[in-house]
Chains A and B, each alone.
Chain A
């Protein structure tokens, strides 16, 4: 069974801090994704990656960056956290032919920025 692990379930950070959210998958998937989920807005794509060292902006990349140095790990970085980045963050992975394969999600990280 595919396992997508996010390093923290809950995180509280102060405004201006640099925040790292880590995601690891164990099924050798090429595609990895970071979403944020907010009430009334649904899931929105922040960044995705099709391969090691590759990254592409999603719908709402502002204020975020990502790193994919190894195939199994995809990190989301908040360079200077702000209160409007308080949200649920979800990582997902899928094999390369994602049109024909479901996404596998982690359990999410609920980030609060005070």
Chain B
């Protein structure tokens, strides 16, 4: 079973700072997901990627398959970015094969 590690567990930053959240996994994957969970519970899918880099607004996700590592970057961070960010990997065989990291709790202070 894949082991998914996220770092840091908690991150507090000032508005406007560049944020990086890291995710590493132990076994080869078919896809990696970045999810966002705001207080209250609902989870939103931000990115799904299997190679390279994706960008959506101020969010950028990269993945290095050889190093088994992905990063989520937030540029010009804003208090509304405060949330838990979760990395999940699919080791193949369907969506039941998803393994989740424990999440990174991000707080952006004004």
Which A residues lie at the B interface, using CB under 8 A? 9, 31, 33, 40-45, 48, 50, 56, 58, 88, 90, 92, 94, 98-108, 110
Question: In the complex, A100→B30 CA distance in Å?
Answer: 9
Check if A103 sits within 8 Å of B98, measured CB to CB.
yes
* B residues with CB within 8 A of A: 30-31, 33, 35, 40-45, 48, 86, 88, 90, 92, 94-96, 98, 100-103
The reply to whether B95 and A94 contact each other, CB–CB distance below 8 Å, is: yes
- Cβ B33 vs Cβ A99 within 8 A: no
Please judge, given known A-B contacts A33-B95, A102-B48, A103-B33, whether A42 and B43 are in contact too, CB under 8 Å.
no
In the complex, the number of residue pairs spanning A and B with C-beta atoms less than 8 Å apart equals: 64
Task: For the complex, give the distance between the alpha carbons of A98 and B31 in Å.
Answer: 10
Instruction: Please tell me if the beta carbons of A108 and B100 are within 8 angstroms of each other in the complex.
Output: no
Whether A40 touches B41, Cβ cut-off 8 Å, given contacts A99-B94, A101-B48, is no
Q: Given A33-B96, A42-B100, are A102 and B45 neighbors across the interface (CB < 8 Å)?
A: yes
Q: Which chain A residue has the least Cβ–Cβ distance from B44?
A: A105
CB of A99 within 8 A of CB of B45, answer: no
B94 touches A42 (CB 8 A): no
Q: Known pairs A41-B102, A43-B86, A99-B90. 6 more at Cβ < 8 A?
A: A42-B101, A42-B103, A98-B95, A99-B92, A103-B95, A108-B43
Q: A90 to B43, Cβ gap below 8 A?
A: yes
Q: Are A45 and B98 in contact (CB under 8 A)?
A: yes
Name the CB-closest residue of B to A106: B42
Task: From the candidates B31, B44, B86, B88, name the one contacting A99 in the complex (CB within 8 A).
Answer: B31
